[in-house]
Amino acid sequence: MSKIAFLFPGQGSQYIGMGKDLYEREEASKRIFDEADETLETKLSSLIFEGDAEELTLTYNAQPALLTTSIAVLEKFKESSITPDFTAGHSLGEYSALVAAGAMTFKDAVYTVRKRGEFMNEAVPAGEGAMAAILGMDAESLKKVTDQVTENGHLVQLANLNCPGQIVISGTAKGVELASEEAKNNGAKRAIPLEVSGPFHSELMKPAAQKLEEVLSACELKNAAVPVISNVSADVMTEKDDIKKKLIEQLYSPVRFEETINKLIDEGVTTFVEIGPGKVLSGLVKKVNRRLKTIAVSDHETIELAIQTLKEENQDA
């Protein structure tokens, strides 16, 4: 029988109106949005459903908004008999994966990611950090470029190893600028500056990581009931102490998403269900291995179709 992994998207997949149909049609999903409003003492749901897109994009809003919407989608799967063999997420999405695996309560997770967003936003003054997507270059070659720029006094490092030929770099604004130019000089097809508020997944996030540790220490983390693949190690994590350690390290370490997918393939996963807004992760999975089955679910219609498809496949198996 083939194995299933639930994948959860990260920052950048948010959009106004996400999850609204679930809020209006599904009582369990509505409770998730209401719990987020109550926990954060703000009308996050109103911002998500009908707010300003620029405000939603702010790190400390986007992170709890995406987590909330992803878990609202997940609630529909809980009503079915479909459970994942593994979970994983991209950066912020790792918190959704941990909620799905029973390692964190939704209440703790939504509070933590709000604080995480605030800490990330505060860590580096606006304009001093940057990120860029480098296309058409392998990780080893790009790391030589970033190491050289860093040695010359401008910090920059690999941040997101998403799929073959797509790697995001992060660091000081000057470091990212220099590394982008040098990458193109060494064969990269393109270097695309990203519209982000800070140099995420770089050493510059260590002040945020220190603050995050205090918040996580107040959370009631549990051992995961379902194996979760860590962004930091691209390996299984289930023990609560290891989970806490990895979440702190994740803020300033690369997201090893390509390796995560390859690990899941090695574990026998053939079906990847992206739970939450957008289809970014489904696209990355296909770039790692086009033969893999991907299903993206974000609203009532796509969830119902996915559940039906997965149940039929399970019966056939």
Q: Model confidence over 169-217: pLDDT tens digits? A: 999 999 999 999 999 999 999 999 998 888 999 999 999 999 999 999 9
What's the confidence (pLDDT) of residue 128? 92
| Percent of the chain with pLDDT strictly greater than 70 | 99
By DSSP bridging, strand 3-8 and strand 129-135 are unpaired
* pTM of the shown model: 0.95
pLDDT in tens, 231-251: 999 999 999 999 999 999 999
CA–CA dist 31, 12 (Å, integer): 24
What's the confidence (pLDDT) of residue 2? 78
Average pLDDT for 17-30: 96
- With 80 as the cut, is the pLDDT of residue 230 above it? yes
Instruction: Output the domain CATH number for residue 136.
Output: 3.30.70.250
Q: Are residues 271 and 163 part of one domain?
A: no
**Residue 301 structure tokens:** 């219609």
What's the confidence (pLDDT) of residue 79? 86
Torsion, Cα of 281, 71, 41, 218 (10° steps):
-90
Q: Are residues 106 and 26 part of one domain?
A: yes
CA–CA dist 86, 72 (Å, integer): 19
CA–CA dist 257, 250 (Å, integer): 12
What's the confidence (pLDDT) of residue 81? 79
Number of domains observed in the structure of the chain: 2
201 catalytic, yes or no?
yes
**Residue 161 in contact with residue 139, Cβ under 8 Å?**
yes
What's the confidence (pLDDT) of residue 254? 97
- With 60 as the cut, is the pLDDT of residue 275 above it? yes
What's the confidence (pLDDT) of residue 248? 97
Q: Phi and psi (nearest 5°) for 14?
A: -70, 150
Q: Which of 196, 219, 253 is the last residue of a domain?
A: 196
**Residue 125 structure tokens:** 């003054």
By DSSP bridging, strand 228-229 and strand 166-172 are unpaired
**Residue 40 structure tokens:** 């954060």
Q: Are residues 161 and 113 part of one domain?
A: no
Neighbour-count burial for 33-60, b at 16+ CB within 10 Å, e otherwise: bebbbebbeeebbebbbebeeeebbbbb
Q: Are residues 216 and 108 part of one domain?
A: yes
CA–CA dist 39, 35 (Å, integer): 6
Q: Which of 155, 173, 196 is the last residue of a domain?
A: 196
**Residue 176 in contact with residue 202, Cβ under 8 Å?**
no
* Mean residue pLDDT across the chain: 95
Q: Which of 158, 177, 196 is the last residue of a domain?
A: 196
pLDDT in tens, 69-125: 999 999 999 888 789 999 999 999 999 999 999 999 999 999 999 999 999 999 998
Q: Are residues 92 and 69 part of one domain?
A: yes
180 catalytic, yes or no?
no
**Residue 169 in contact with residue 129, Cβ under 8 Å?**
no
Q: Are residues 259 and 165 part of one domain?
A: no
**Residue 107 in contact with residue 39, Cβ under 8 Å?**
yes
Domain that holds residue 52: 3-123+204-316
Angle between helices 173-185 and 139-151 (to 10 degrees): 130
CA–CA dist 84, 110 (Å, integer): 22
Torsion, Cα of 132, 287, 203, 228 (10° steps):
150
What's the confidence (pLDDT) of residue 1? 64
- With 60 as the cut, is the pLDDT of residue 257 above it? yes
What's the confidence (pLDDT) of residue 316? 61
What's the confidence (pLDDT) of residue 233? 98
> Which position among 201, 202, 282, 298 bears the catalytic label?
201
Q: Are residues 104 and 225 part of one domain?
A: yes
| Percent of the chain with pLDDT strictly greater than 90 | 91
What's the confidence (pLDDT) of residue 54? 92
What's the confidence (pLDDT) of residue 197? 80
By DSSP bridging, strand 156-163 and strand 166-172 are antiparallel
Please choose, from the candidates 200, 211, 10, the residue with its C-alpha nearest in 3D space to the C-alpha of residue 124.
Answer: 200
What's the confidence (pLDDT) of residue 247? 98
CA–CA dist 105, 120 (Å, integer): 22
How far is the CA of 288 from the CAs of 66, 251, 264, 281, in angstroms?
24, 24, 12, 11
> Which position among 91, 96, 230, 298 bears the catalytic label?
91
**pLDDT band at residue 126 under the 50/70/90 scheme:** confident
What's the confidence (pLDDT) of residue 47? 98
Instruction: Output the domain CATH number for residue 95.
Output: 3.40.366.10
Angle (CA) 310 71 97, round 5°: 80
Q: Are residues 192 and 81 part of one domain?
A: no
